[in-house]
Chain A
């Protein structure tokens, strides 16, 4: 804490509670409260109930949850492989080629995700690549959207990786592939898991591109939340949102544990 005077510290905390808490924390609290409500007309919701959660366990909401989990898992693994590989390859590039590759991988982030969804829909609606109406196109869209983050975090980690490690390994007679698997990937592991977590979280919450693409038998949770609130079942939607939030947090915390165990310095 850089603020030393007592008054200054109080001011800092006050600003924090007044500005940040309402914007960052309170909305989640509201969703949490709404998920237990039957009615919300006053300042606080009334008639607390668990029916929304009981409904989730009965309907196809559980399916939606597993769909989201599988999509996010597949997309983050694919993104990690593609983005990580690209970042490793890009390390040797310099100048214009490097900038070109960086731009290429940043493109899906720069372009609105609705556009990404639409472009995939248009591109893969005709044979020989007919993916329209399959679950693969949803996974593909998520992969395209999150690969940028995998590419960027692995690139950043590679810059920080001391070349002395791989050079020492090479001088000891290790071929490049051996150096990659035994030295570089283990040293990059903390960044790789961080990237995987980021990709997973982004994919779990992806809605706009998914809306353009999802087939009836592959309906991720965000789409169902949207559907529920659109029908007017706001509190059911809130319960689904809480489930989505909690699941994502649990997965991320699990990955965080791997990360701390894998960091060596």
Chain B
């Protein structure tokens, strides 16, 4: 039964990829511009579109021959620096703890669950894998941990190819969704487990256990059993257990999803503090929650349908999404089908809107040709409510009819039927909110809207 799990990428490609200097070697393969990026710390990745690397950083013959690899490279949005080391992190893949996915493809029973993932996590970087369920993000994490065997591609940890190593030889710390604390062991025994398994000298163990427990604030609970702890406390013990072995890489698989909302924000701050205390540990953080990703991550990799859709800093992804999927998943943007009308304007049905052409630095900076179809992304909170009869000169205005009003405490969410689309608008807590059926007008600034070519928008599914 193991044979059908191989994907379409033939096995003989795998060693070929592994042998190329690109994979075996240093930072040269990761980013031709990495050296300069490291010195110019403040350089925004998208400030110089011409010099950045594309999503598929290699051009080895083996890569070109593999059809899956080619299609994977073509499908990822062409964001400069997607696979490259972020500015400010020196020589990522070779710093201890860095993770590198080199065209990793994983298939279960003939179904591809991760398709040619190319991604580099720098040493000490926090990378969030963000995506809906079934996007392949957990599979990517399990490939790093060694619980799934890629059908093609290599996984590198700290510059070392670990694709063929069993999990226990990889030197990673992992925290899973339900923590998986060993129920028959006390908290201190749980934390000591990895140290004993790795035959750390006996005299050293109590000190390291105490250290890990203190780091997570669980010193007072050392003699308890996991069943005597609350969810948040179990979470802390699981993190302490993973940190006790001093891993170069920490894998967190939806670590907060089992906690209630209040605990979650507390743990989020806690994780950020832990990372400040352990600046050399790379963290791969799998989540479906954009808030967690935006709060914690240095960079976010957005996955959907087994593919990497987009990758960049939280600010970058939020302000300048490169695909409609990113726009709708990170920040829940409205996606409007528009037609280019020349000189920085687009037409949405009968309305003319001013926009920034194709974001900045994404793809061709020219904007769509006149009459071409494109997708306009506007976030709900970028829309402002104005009276229906006002006619401001500068701002873009959309007129429509309110179909529903939802009060959310700090905002009102308005659902508005306008120009053939259903728009979501989040407007500040109103004293007199409009009622369904009211005619209203919404305005937004050109800088708050991102225009995407229609082709890239096709991959995006509507996410409510």
Contacts and interface: CB of A to CB of B under 8 A. Distances in A.
B171 A173 contact: yes
A265 B227 contact: yes
Interface residues of B, number: 29
Interface residues of A, number: 23
B70 to A, nearest CB: 33
B180 A168 contact: yes
A173 B245 contact: yes
Contacts of B170: 171
B197 A168 contact: no
Contact of A170 (B1, B168, B184, B251): B168
A129 interface: no
A94 interface: yes
A189 B184 CA distance: 10
A171 B174 contact: yes
Contact of B197 (A164, A178, A186, A264): A178
A68 B168 CA distance: 45
Contacts of B312: none
Interface string B378-417: 0000000000000000000000000000000000000000
A148 interface: no
Contacts of B171: 173
B178 interface: yes
Contact of B180 (A167, A173, A178, A186): A167
A175 B168 contact: yes
Interface string B291-327: 0000000000000000000000000000000000000
Interface in A187-240: 187, 189
A150 to B, nearest CB: 21
Interface of B: 1, 145-147, 166-174, 176, 178, 180, 182-184, 193-194, 197-198, 225, 227, 241-242, 245, 251
11 contacts: A95-B1, A162-B180, A170-B167, A171-B146, A171-B168, A171-B170, A173-B198, A186-B184, A187-B182, A189-B184, A265-B183
Given A178-B197, A187-B182, 18 more contacts: A94-B1, A164-B178, A165-B182, A167-B180, A171-B146, A171-B168, A171-B170, A171-B242, A172-B245, A173-B169, A174-B193, A175-B168, A176-B168, A187-B184, A264-B184, A264-B225, A264-B227, A265-B183
